[in-house]
Every structure is written in C-alpha cells, then in structure tokens.
C-alpha cells in the first residue's frame, strides 16, 4: 500500500515497529523515520496499518504529542468499532481528525492497488483523504460515521470465514473422492460456486501449503470482533462461531502464522479429531 503511494508521487515518511520492511520504500523515494513520533511530525495525513486494537492505541498514544493540529489520521487497521470511536474522540480533543478505513482484497489487492476500502468518518474528512484512498484501493465506500468502516469489515470477515471454510471442506471432499481436483477447481471457478477464495486459495489448499497472505491468528481476532458485534445486536451467527472454533484448534496446534487458508489443515487425515470442534 505504501509502495503504491510512493509510486503515485506522495511524499512519504515511513516507520515500521519491526525494522526492515521499510527498506524497499526508502529505495522508492520514501524517508525512513527513526520512530513513530518522528514519522508523524509535521505531517498532514497520517496512515496506520497495524495488527490489533492494542497496537493502534499504543502507537497513537506515542505519537499524539507530535501530531500537528488539523492533521488527519487514516486508520487502515482492523479493530473494534468502539475502539475507532474512542480513538476519534481522543484525537478530536487535540484538533486531529480520524477516519477508520479497513481494507479487503488480500495481499494481491494491496500490491495491485485494487483493494476495497470501507470508510467511516465525517464526509469532509473522507473527501480530504480520497486522493490517497484512491491510490490504495479501487473501490472507496463511505458507509457512515467513525466505526462504520469497522462494522462493515466485521461483515466482510464473516463472509471470508464462511467462504474459506467452504472451499477447504469442498477440496477435502473432492480429494477423498479421488477426483482430479485441479480440473474440478477450474470448472467450479467458472460456475455458481465461484469465489475469491476458490480462485486464489484452493490451489494452495490442494497442495497443502499455506504461504502467508493474511495470518490465521489475525483472522481469528477479526472473528472475535464480528461475534461481539453480532451479540450486541442479539444476532446469533453459528457459522462464524463454528469457524472460530476451527481456528482455535489450529491456533492451539501452532498454525497461527499460516495463511487463513490453513483452515484446510482441519480436514487433513493427520489432524487430531479430538481437537476438532463438534457440530
């Protein structure tokens, strides 16, 4: 995402909490800052993309004294809607605006600049950020006030949970039936069962390899947000709850750093059936 902004001509000052990943950005013309406060000093637009609520809160607390009045924080992280609303209120007291802008589209979409960006915030703030957002994503959807973007991302992650689990289950069935699954997958991709997960992740599932796209542990964190959001409305979402239990079993088995498509491991002959959630 940052590389796309650099290529589009944005003047970037970058910082990563774990040193190293920003090296390619520096080669593309960005300036590396030694700390997060140094990165935001004097900036009008500040972008965050962090792992969870605690990380976002920690970073914003660290940089708050360095944020310029009138600046705008664009938070691409996936966190709880209530966390976004609290952060926005805290920053407003410093005359700093905030929008939540979680994204969906996978690492492929991030590289290509074709992500879908789900935005919550005041319309004036969204329009101010739009030139930046349109570099990061192909579709920018303003859904309401701060927190609305995170609510939509929770809906997205429920869909991801169901689609990945369904693809994993279908691939496992086809393999057990002895079908030529590469051909089956190609045929189904063009039919009513076609999905992003089937097109982009079924091949890895069939090969039993799960190169990182989006960590299973982070998706489980996102499902917790979705389950909490559903509970607040009185809605029961049993499919999401089942996938969460499947992911818990895989996390316990040490697969948290695998891609979400590692849900296919749950169906493997080697999986410990005792660790599988019941239905």
Q: Supply the residues annotated as catalytic.
A: 153
User: Collapsing DSSP states into helix, strand and coil, what is residue 249?
Assistant: helix
Rounded Cα gap, residues 229 and 156, in angstroms: 13
b/e code 163-189 from CB counts within 10 Å (16+ = b): ebbbbbebbbebbeeeeebeebbeebe
- Please, what is the Cα angle at 241 between 108 and 102, to 5 degrees? 35
Query: Do residues 237 and 158 make contact, with C-beta atoms less than 8 angstroms apart?
Result: yes
Rounded Cα gap, residues 73 and 99, in angstroms: 6
Query: Do residues 133 and 117 make contact, with C-beta atoms less than 8 angstroms apart?
Result: yes
Helix (H) or strand (E) holding 128: helix 123-136
Place of tokens 């973007």: 149
Place of tokens 């489980």: 220
């Amino acid at each position: 995402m940052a590389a796309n902004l650099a290529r589009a001509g944005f003047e970037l000052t970058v910082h990563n909490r774990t040193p190293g990943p920003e090296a390619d950005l520096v080669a593309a013309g960005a300036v590396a800052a030694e700390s997060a406060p140094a990165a935001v000093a004097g900036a009008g637009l500040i972008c965050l993309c962090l792992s969870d609520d605690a990380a976002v809160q920690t970073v914003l607390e660290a940089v708050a004294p360095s944020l310029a009045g009138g600046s705008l924080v664009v938070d691409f992280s996936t966190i709880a809607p209530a966390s976004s609303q609290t952060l926005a209120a805290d920053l407003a007291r410093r005359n700093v605006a905030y929008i939540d802008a979680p994204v969906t589209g996978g690492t492929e979409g991030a590289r290509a600049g074709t992500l879908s960006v789900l935005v919550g915030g005041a319309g004036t703030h969204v329009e101010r950020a739009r030139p930046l957002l349109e570099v990061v994503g192909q579709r920018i959807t303003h859904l309401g006030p701060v927190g609305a973007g995170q609510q939509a991302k929770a809906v997205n992650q429920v869909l991801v949970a169901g689609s990945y689990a369904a693809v994993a289950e279908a691939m496992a069935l086809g393999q057990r039936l002895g079908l030529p699954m590469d051909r089956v997958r190609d045929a189904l991709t063009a039919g009513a069962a076609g999905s992003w997960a089937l097109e982009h992740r079924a091949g890895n599932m069939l090969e039993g390899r799960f190169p990182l796209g989006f960590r299973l542990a982070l998706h489980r964190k996102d499902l917790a947000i979705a389950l909490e959001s559903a509970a607040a409305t009185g809605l029961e979402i049993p499919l999401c709850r089942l996938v969460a239990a499947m992911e818990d079993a895989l996390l316990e088995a040490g697969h948290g750093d695998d891609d979400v498509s590692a849900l296919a491991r749950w169906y493997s002959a080697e999986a410990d059936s005792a660790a599988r959630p019941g239905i």
